[in-house]
Amino acid sequence: MASAELFSVRLTVNGVVHDIEVPSRRLLSDCLRHDLRLTGTHVGCEHGVCGACTVLVDGVAVRSCLLLAVSADGALITTVEGLTRQDGTLSPVQQAFADCHGLQCGFCTPGFLTAITAALEQNPVPTEEQAREIIGGNLCRCTGYQNIVKAVLRAAELRAAEVSAAEVSAGDQAGTA
Amino acid sequence: MKPPPFGYSRPETVEEAVSVLAGRDPDGKVLAGGQSLLPLLNMRLATPGHLVDINRLSELSHVRVADGHVVIGALARHAEVLADQDVARAQPLIGQALALVAHQVIRNRGTTVGSIVHADPSGEMTAVLALLGGSVLLVSTSGERIVHAHEFFLGPLESDVRPDELATQVHIPVLPARAGTAFAEVSRRHGDYAVCGVAVRAELDDADAVSRATAAYLSVAGTPLVLDLSDAGGDPAAAGRLARDRVSPGGDIHATAGYRKHLAGVLTERALADAIAAAKERSVG
C-alpha cells in the first residue's frame, strides 16, 4: 500500500545533517517536531493561515505545514532554534522581541522570528508600513501587534549595529594582515 | 489536519512527469508550490491517490518576456515573478495583482501557474489571465495543446486540465504603449481572499480619450467574469454603474450579494481611474 512506503530524506537543520525515513504525507512541521524533536517550530492552524510554523528553507521563509518533508529533501533548513548564536546569545530579532515586549504567551513567536529574520535580509531598513507588511502573514492573539511592529524596527537597528561592527572588525583584521 | 495517505513521485524531467501522470490517470495530481493543495489535503477536502511533485523540474522555473508575451513557467514562484523588472515593465498588471496574492511567505513558495490552474474564483491571477486573454500550455504523453483563457476556466476550482496533463507555462500578452492597468480589491484583512476584486485595462486613442476599457472580476462568479466597459466612454463613475448593473454575485458569510455588487461598482470606478492615469503616464514615458 502506498501509505506504508517510506522515503529517505536528508535535511540539514540548523547546520546538522539528518538522514531520516518518512512517509510521503509527513508535513515538514511534523517532521521537525516529531522525527527530529525540534519543538521550537509551533503548529497552529495547519492550513497556512497563522504562520506559527514558519521556517527558513534554503534561506527563504515558508510555511512548514504546507510543505511535505519529502519535498524538502536536500534542503538547508533554519528553525527558531537555529537563530540563537552558538554562545547562547540571542539574534537581533530575538533580542528586539525581548526589548520591546513583542510577545506574551509566545506561541506565535517562532513564526514571527523566522519570518522577520528572512525579511530583514531582503530589506534591512524597513519603514513602519513595511514592518506591518512583513508581519502581515502571522497571527498573534495576545499583543495587538503594536509591540511586534516596534520589535521589527528595533531588530533592524540591532542588526545594522551588528553588521557595521563586523565590518569594522573585518577592516581591522585586513589592516593587521 | 494531516494529509491522507498518497503515493508520491518526484520526476526530474517533464517527460518523466507526464509519463507518471499518464500511468496514474485519473488518480494523479500535480504538486508544485502546494500553497492551495496542501491546505486541501490537510483539511481532507482532496484525496488524490498519487502526487507528482514537480519541484525538481528546474526547466520550468523560467520567467521571460518574448514575442509580445510574458511567459511564466510552472515552477516560477509568485515572489520571483513579482520581483522581475522586465515583467513589471512589459505587463504591469501582473505585479499589481501578485502584490495582493496572500502574504510574502506564501508567495515565496506558491507558483503563479499553480494558482491559475487551481482556478479559484477569488484568485487574482485567474482574473489577470482572463482579462488579458492569456493562454496555458498543457503537456501530456500524447503531445501539447494550448488553451486560451476564455475556455480554460470551467467552474469554481475547475480548469480545463485533464488528469494526465501538466500545465508547463502560461503566456500573458504584454501591454501596448497607449494602455494602462490597475487592480483593486477589498478583503477583510490584508492578504485574505478578496470579498470582491477587479482588474482593469484601459486603452487610449491618439487624442488620449479612452478607446477601450475592459475589466475582470474575482469573487463575483464561479469563474473570472470579464466585462467590456467601453460604453462608459472612459468615465470611471459611469463604468462603475455599468459594472454594478452587470454583475450578479452570490451572498455568503463574508458579504451579501448586494454588498458585493456595491463593491464591484466602487472598485471599478477607482481602478478605471487608476488605469487611465497609468495609460497616460505610459504614453508620455
The DSSP annotation for A118-153 comes to: HHHHH-SS--HHHHHHHTTT---SSS-SHHHHHHHH
Residues 97..126 of A with a Cβ closer than 8 Å to B: which?
115, 119
Which residues of B74-193 form beta strands (DSSP E)? 135-140, 143-148, 153-155, 158-159, 166-173, 179-187
Residue stretches of chain A with pLDDT short of 70: 1-3, 174-177
Residue B62 has, within 13 A of its CA and on its CB side, a CA count of: 11
Grid coordinates given for B109: 513558495
CB-based contact A68 B7, cutoff 8 Å: no
Architecture of the CATH domain B179-280: 2-Layer Sandwich (3.30)
- Asked if residue B197 lies in contact with residue B183, where contact means CB atoms within 8 angstroms, the answer is yes
ipTM of the complex: 0.94
Q: What is the pTM of this model?
A: 0.95
State the best of A71, A117, A135, A152 to mutate against chain B, taking most chain B CBs within 10 Å: A71
Chain A nearest C-alpha distance from B223 (Å) = 24
Q: Which of B3, B105, B191 sits opposite A115 (nearest CB)?
A: B105
Rounded to a whole number, what is the distance in Å from the CA of B105 to chain A's nearest CA?
5
Chain A: closest CA distance from residue B26 (Å): 16
* A172 CA: distance to closest CA in chain B (Å): 37
Contact A24 B2 (CB under 8 A): no
Query: CATH topology of B59-173 equal to that of B179-280?
Result: no
Q: What pLDDT is stored for residue A173 in this prediction? A: 73
Tell me whether B35 touches chain A (CB under 8 Å). Answer: yes
User: And the C-alpha cell for A110?
Assistant: 517562532
Of chain B residues 162-201, which have a CB less than 8 A from chain A? 190-191
Report how far residue B157's alpha carbon sits from residue A169's, in angstroms, rounded to the nearest whole number: 56
Q: Which domains does chain A have, with CATH numbers?
A: 2-82 (3.10.20.30), 92-165 (1.10.150.120)
**Chain A residues touching residue B191 (CB < 8 angstroms):** 136-137
What does the pLDDT read at residue B134? 98
CA distance A15 to chain B (A): 22
Paired residues of B171 in beta bridges: B71, B135
| Pairs of residues, one from chain A and one from chain B, whose beta carbons lie less than 8 Å apart | 99
Q: How far is A177 from chain B (nearest CA, A)?
A: 40
Report the distance separating Cα A106 and Cα A148, nearest Å: 12
Q: Is B50 on the interface with A (CB under 8 A)?
A: yes
Residue B71 half-sphere exposure, CB side, CA atoms within 13 Å?
Answer: 11
Strands (E), chain A: 6-13, 16-23, 54-57, 60-63, 76-78
**Residue type present at position B229:** L
Locate the chain A residue with the closest alpha carbon to B193. Answer: A49
pLDDT at A163: 87
Option in A68, A71, A137 nearest B104 (CB):
A137
The A residues from 38 to 57 touching B (CB cutoff 8 Å) are 46-48, 51, 54
pLDDT at residue A1, rounded to an integer: 47
pLDDT of residue B194: 95
Cα radius of gyration (chain A) = 18
Which residue from A minimizes the CA distance to B43?
A: A47
Instruction: Confirm if B169 and B113 have CB atoms less than 8 A apart.
Output: yes
Q: For residue range A120-167, what is the model confidence (pLDDT) as tens digits?
A: 999 999 999 999 999 999 999 999 999 999 999 999 999 999 988 888
Residues B74/B21, Cβ–Cβ less than 8 Å: no
Phi, psi of B275 (to 5 degrees): -65, -40
User: Across the 285 residues of chain B, what is the mean pLDDT of every consecutive 10-residue run?
Assistant: 95 98 94 97 96 97 98 98 98 98 96 98 97 98 97 97 97 97 94 95 96 97 97 97 97 96 98 97 83
Partner residue facing A67 (CB), from B10, B34, B190: B34
Contact B42 A67 (CB under 8 A): no
- A6, A10, A24: best mutation site toward chain B, by most B Cβ within 10 Å? A24
- The CA distance from B192 to B255, in Å, is 14
The answer to whether B172 and B95 are in contact (CB under 8 A) is no
Residue recorded with cell 450578479: B248
Give the architecture (CATH level 2) of B7-51. Answer: 2-Layer Sandwich (3.30)
- CA of residue B5 relative to chain centroid, distance: 30
* Chain-chain contact of A63 with B191 (C-beta, under 8 angstroms): no
Upstream peptide bond of A92 is cis (omega within 30 degrees of 0): no
Domain B59-173 sits in CATH 3.40.640.10: no
Indicate the angle between helix axes B257-284 and B236-246, nearest 10 degrees: 140
Indicate the domain borders of chain B: 7-51, 59-173, 179-280
Q: Is B5 exposed, middle or buried (0-12, 13-18, 19+ CB in 10 A)?
A: middle
Radius of gyration in angstroms for the set of CA atoms belonging to chain B, rounded to a whole number:
19
Cell numbers 527563504: residue: A60
Estimate the crossing angle of helix A92-100 against helix A109-122, to 10 degrees: 120
Is A71:A92 a contact under the CB 8 Å cutoff? no
Answer whether B104 touches A (CB < 8 Å): yes
Of residues B6, B20, B29, B8, the one with CA closest to residue B163: B29
Which pLDDT score is estimated for A169? 84
